[in-house]
Amino acid sequence: GLSRVYITRQIPPEGLKILRESGQVQFQLWDSDDIPVPRQEMLEKVKGADALLCVLTEKIDAELLDAAGPNLKVISTMSVGFDHLSLEELKRRGIRVGYTPDVLTDSVAELTVALLLTTSRRLIEATHEAKTGGWGTWRTLWLCGHELANSTVGILGLGRIGVAIAERLAPFKVKKFIYTDVVPRPELASMINAEYVSFDELAEQSDFLSVCCALTPETKEICNKNLFSKMKSTSIFINTSRGGVVNQDDLYEALSTGQIAGAGLDVTVPEPLPISHPLFTLKNCVILPHIASASYITRNAMSALAANNLLLGLRGEPMIKELKL
């Protein structure tokens, strides 16, 4: 018979088309208002499912897996991040996990460059000034920012996305790329001529520091006052990975006291960040609502990859992109 699939959100059409045309599954979909499925609803609807297709707003933990029951063989997340999944629980239960790296690398790298330039050249402040009467006249040091030309760009966590960001920044005449990670990544580093440095050296030398690592217990809040206090007062901090990598109180402190020049964040804790959050009061902090992979092509590709991973997993075949648990 057909395998039962629960899908936690309205996903872009390509993935649904693949599932429909597979003839392999019947699925049930939470598609109310494009908001996350209420936890209780998910706990009920997931009962008996053979596979679950989820997005990053859903916590997949022991409670959820218990509610699903013993049929559940596959989790397919439409995301590259996997911090919303309890990997130990999944491993213990022998549940396979698909995710969607690579297809979003271009989109995330593009957005990271856009956010970096928006932050370093103070574009949000500038448009605000222009349309609210602040543009009295042309002034010599007004709205001055920091240039990529001749700068040192640091990458915290060198993977595919870090490489793609560096490839895009190189034509801006960056002087030097440096990176740190738990171990050196010589193959990736050689693609962008990046030098491996210590965590402290990354903090001290970077004019632009871009966070590109996954959120894991090891990386939780590694960007804290220890890091910010070592950074240059002219440096720009960019995070398009996960908000949990940053201690936001420490970041607020660093930005409001001029310890660093600016920050561009596509990710925060929590999401959405409440509009009353102190970070929103800072002119030198640009906050985006987690849109790094948000292009039509990429979101459809993620949807298709998540669907294909799920179908392969249900057939007991290797997935296109499977997390090693």
Q: Does residue 81 touch ligand GLV according to CB under 6 A?
A: yes
Cis-peptide, bond into residue 274, ω within 30° of zero: no
Give Cβ neighbours of residue 300 (< 8 Å, ≥ 6 apart): 12, 13, 14, 15
**Binding to ligand GLV, residues 124-163 (CB under 6 A):** none
CB 211 to ligand GLV: min, Å = 12
Residue nearest to ligand GLV (CB): 81
**CB-nearer residue toward ligand GLV: 81 or 313:** 81
- Stretch near ligand GLV under the rule CB under 6 A, chosen from 78-86, 153-161, 226-234, 303-311: 78-86
Q: Please, what is the minimum distance in Å from the beta carbon of residue 299 to ligand GLV? A: 10
Q: Is 56 in the site for ligand GLV (CB under 6 A)?
A: yes
Which of 54, 80, 95, 254 lies at the binding interface for ligand GLV (CB under 6 A)? 80
For residue 324, is it left (φ>0), alpha (ψ between -120 and 50) or beta? Answer: beta
Q: According to the binding rule CB under 6 A, does residue 273 interact with ligand GLV?
A: no
User: CB under 6 A: which stretch of 14-22, 35-43, 75-83, 277-285 binds ligand GLV?
Assistant: 75-83
Residues in Cβ contact with 188 at an 8 Å cutoff, skipping those fewer than 6 apart: 158, 159, 160, 162, 163, 194
Q: Pick the closer one to ligand GLV by CB: 2 or 144.
A: 144
Judge contact between 15 and 303, C-beta under 8 A: yes
Q: Tell me whether residue 269 or residue 282 sits nearer to ligand GLV (CB atom).
A: 269
| Region of 16-24, 76-84, 85-93, 164-172 interacting with ligand GLV (CB under 6 A) | 76-84
Q: Is 193 exposed, middle or buried (0-12, 13-18, 19+ CB in 10 A)?
A: exposed
Contact 112, 165 (CB under 8 A): yes
**How far is residue 130's CA from residue 94's CA, in Å, rounded to a whole number?**
57
Kindly report the three-state secondary structure assignment for every residue of 128-194. Answer: HHHHCCCCCCCCCCCCCCCCCCCCEEEEECCCHHHHHHHHHHHHHCCCEEEEECCCCCHHHHHHHCE
- Enzyme catalytic residues: 290
Q: How far is the CB of 56 from ligand GLV (least distance, A)?
A: 5
Q: Tell me which stretch binds ligand GLV (CB under 6 A): 74-82, 143-151, 156-164, 226-234.
A: 74-82
Q: Which of 293, 298, 303, 309 binds ligand GLV (CB under 6 A)?
A: 293
Nearer to ligand GLV, 108 or 260 (CB): 108
Binding site for ligand GLV (CB under 6 A): 56, 79-81, 104, 293
